[in-house]
């Protein structure tokens, strides 16, 4: 991953979905108008009891940010200038891919810096340890088309995941 984030011509949306069969991720990269450039889907991961014990409290962040998030971002050809996720625990993706990451869910506890921007109908959360990203995040959000609501693409991702499952893709990827 490059240290300097790429030019912000694209934005990534990472959705983490918890299902009966495990946790899976859907990752949509759009241009600044919200049009899809790439979509990538992970298989569902179901940690067993031993893995739960061994990974302990780090398991969720490892699954969301490292295993699913990082894999999806790295396997996708288009590098975004910003990643938005619907999972607070996936904010750790910032440390793995070197791209600013925002969550669109209520923050957990005291961690996280809350941002408000016209491009989002809900508050945005930035990991506290990456408070330096704040200015660059706002600059990139400003570049988005005004019609974009950052919460909206997650609806598309969920529908696409359902469609892919219907077509047997998630099984095939497994």
Partner 1 sequence: MKGETAITLNDSLLPWEAAIPSPLTPLPNGERGTEPPIDLLPTPDCLTFARFEQPLSVNVRDSRLLTGSPWVRTLGRLDLTVSTEGWKFPAPPPELDRPPPRFEKPVDHEAIELPGLPDETSAAKKKRIRTKPTADTVLIKDRLLYLLQPPLDGIFDGRQLELPFEPFPYQLEGIAFLMPRHSALLADEMGLGKTMQTILSLRLLFHHGIIRSALMITPKPLVHNWARELKLWAPDLPFEIFPSDPELRRSAWLVSNCPLKIINYEALTRDAEVLSDPRAAFDVVILDEAQRIKNRDSKTAEVVRSVKRTRSWALTGTPIENHADDLVNIFAFVDPGRIPQDTPPKRIASLTSDSILRRTKDDVQSDMPPKMMKDLEVELTPAQRHAYDRAENDGIVHLNELGETITVQHVFQLVMRLKQICNFDPLTGESAKLEQLVTDMEEVAESGRKAIVFSQWVEPLKIIADALRPHGPLEYHGRIPQKDRFPILDQFRDDPNCHVLLMTYGTGSVGLNLQFSNYVFLFDRWWNPAVEDQAINRAHRIGQRHPVTVTRFLTENTIEARIASILEAKRKVFNDLLAMADKPASLGLDEGEIFGLFDIQARPKRG
Using CB under 8 A, list all residues that contact partner 1. Answer: 9, 25, 28, 30-43, 45, 47-48, 50-51, 54, 62-63, 67-68, 71-72, 75-78, 114, 116-119, 121-123, 138, 141-143, 145-149, 151-153, 155-157, 159-160, 163-164, 167, 169, 172-174
Q: Which residue has the tokens 């975004």?
A: 80
- Angle at Cα 126 formed by Cα 31 and Cα 18, nearest 5°? 75
Distance CA 149, CA 143 (A): 13
For the bound state, the minimum distance from the C-beta of residue 168 to partner 1, rounded and expressed in Å, comes to: 9
Distance CA 169, CA 174 (A): 9
Residue 20 or 116: which CB sits closer to partner 1? 116
Residue 9 or 128: which CB sits closer to partner 1? 9
For the bound state, the minimum distance from the C-beta of residue 115 to partner 1, rounded and expressed in Å, comes to: 8
For the bound state, the minimum distance from the C-beta of residue 29 to partner 1, rounded and expressed in Å, comes to: 9
Neighbours of 45 (CB within 10 A): 16
Residue 1 or 143: which CB sits closer to partner 1? 143
Alpha-carbon distance values, 69 to 11, 28, 126, 145 (Å) = 14, 12, 16, 25
């Amino acid at each position: 991953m490059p240290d300097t984030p790429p030019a912000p011509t694209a934005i990534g949306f990472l959705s983490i979905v918890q299902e009966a069969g495990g946790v899976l991720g859907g990752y949509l990269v759009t241009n600044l108008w919200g049009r899809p450039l790439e979509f990538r889907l992970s298989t569902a991961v179901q940690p067993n009891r031993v893995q739960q014990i061994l990974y302990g409290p780090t398991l969720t962040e490892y699954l969301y940010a490292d295993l699913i998030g990082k894999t999806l971002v790295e396997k996708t050809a288009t590098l975004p200038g910003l990643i938005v996720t619907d999972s607070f625990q996936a904010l750790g993706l910032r440390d793995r891919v070197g791209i600013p990451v925002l969550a669109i869910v209520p923050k957990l506890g005291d961690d996280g810096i809350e941002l408000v921007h016209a491009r989002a109908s809900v508050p945005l959360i930035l990991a506290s340890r990456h408070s330096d990203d704040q200015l660059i995040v706002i600059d990139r959000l400003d570049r988005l088309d005004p019609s974009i609501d950052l919460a909206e693409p997650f609806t598309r991702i969920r529908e696409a995941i359902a469609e892919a499952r219907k077509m047997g893709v998630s099984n095939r990827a497994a």
